[in-house]
């Protein structure tokens, strides 16, 4: 069993890709409003909301404990592509490194991200 891996899925949303992208890249402070059951707060640690290279962090309500107790590293990537008629296809991928082989694949975090994306989709449609 490998300690490193990648899980991914796709989610279709009924908003344009650029509008969805702007929520995460320039208006991330709205994420807790759109997804209060999943995201507690979003903070800028360096830079600002507009400048490329700014470091942003998300504090989430725990799903099954602290991610760093089970994983050495976890990288979540969202990639939105236009699908037509104002909708998009968002690819979610999670690259991870488990602390031990007994740790399960992080499918629960993938499900979490799908739920946040669906919540964000609602915010995008209503902003």
List the pLDDT tens digit at each of the 127 positions of the chain: 689 999 999 999 988 888 887 777 777 777 788 778 877 777 777 777 666 655 556 444 344 457 888 888 888 888 888 888 888 898 889 989 999 999 999 999 999 889 888 876 666 666 5
Annotated domain spans of the chain: 4-125
Contacts for 35 with CB less than 8 Å, ≥ 6 apart: 115, 116, 119, 120
Question: Are β-strands 71-84 and 39-46 bridged in parallel, bridged antiparallel, or unpaired?
Answer: unpaired
CA distances from 24 to 58, 71, 75 (A): 11, 24, 15
Task: Indicate the burial class of 101 (C-beta count within 10 angstroms; 0-12, 13-18, 19 or more).
Answer: exposed
Q: At the topology level of CATH, where does 4-125 sit?
A: Alpha-D-Glucose-1,6-Bisphosphate; Chain A, domain 4 (3.30.530)
């Amino acid at each position: 069993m490998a300690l490193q891996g990648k899980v991914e899925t796709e989610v279709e949303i009924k908003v344009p890709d650029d509008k969805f992208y702007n929520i995460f890249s320039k208006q991330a402070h709205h994420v807790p409003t759109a997804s209060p059951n999943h995201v507690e707060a979003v903070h800028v640690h360096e830079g600002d909301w507009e400048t490329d290279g700014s470091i942003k962090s998300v504090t989430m309500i725990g799903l099954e404990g602290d991610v760093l107790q089970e994983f050495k590293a976890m990288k979540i990537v969202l990639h939105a592509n236009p699908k037509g008629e104002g909708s998009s296809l968002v690819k979610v991928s999670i690259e991870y490194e488990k602390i031990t082989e007994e740790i399960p694949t992080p499918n629960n975090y993938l499900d979490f991200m799908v739920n946040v994306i669906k919540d964000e989709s609602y915010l995008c449609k209503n902003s």
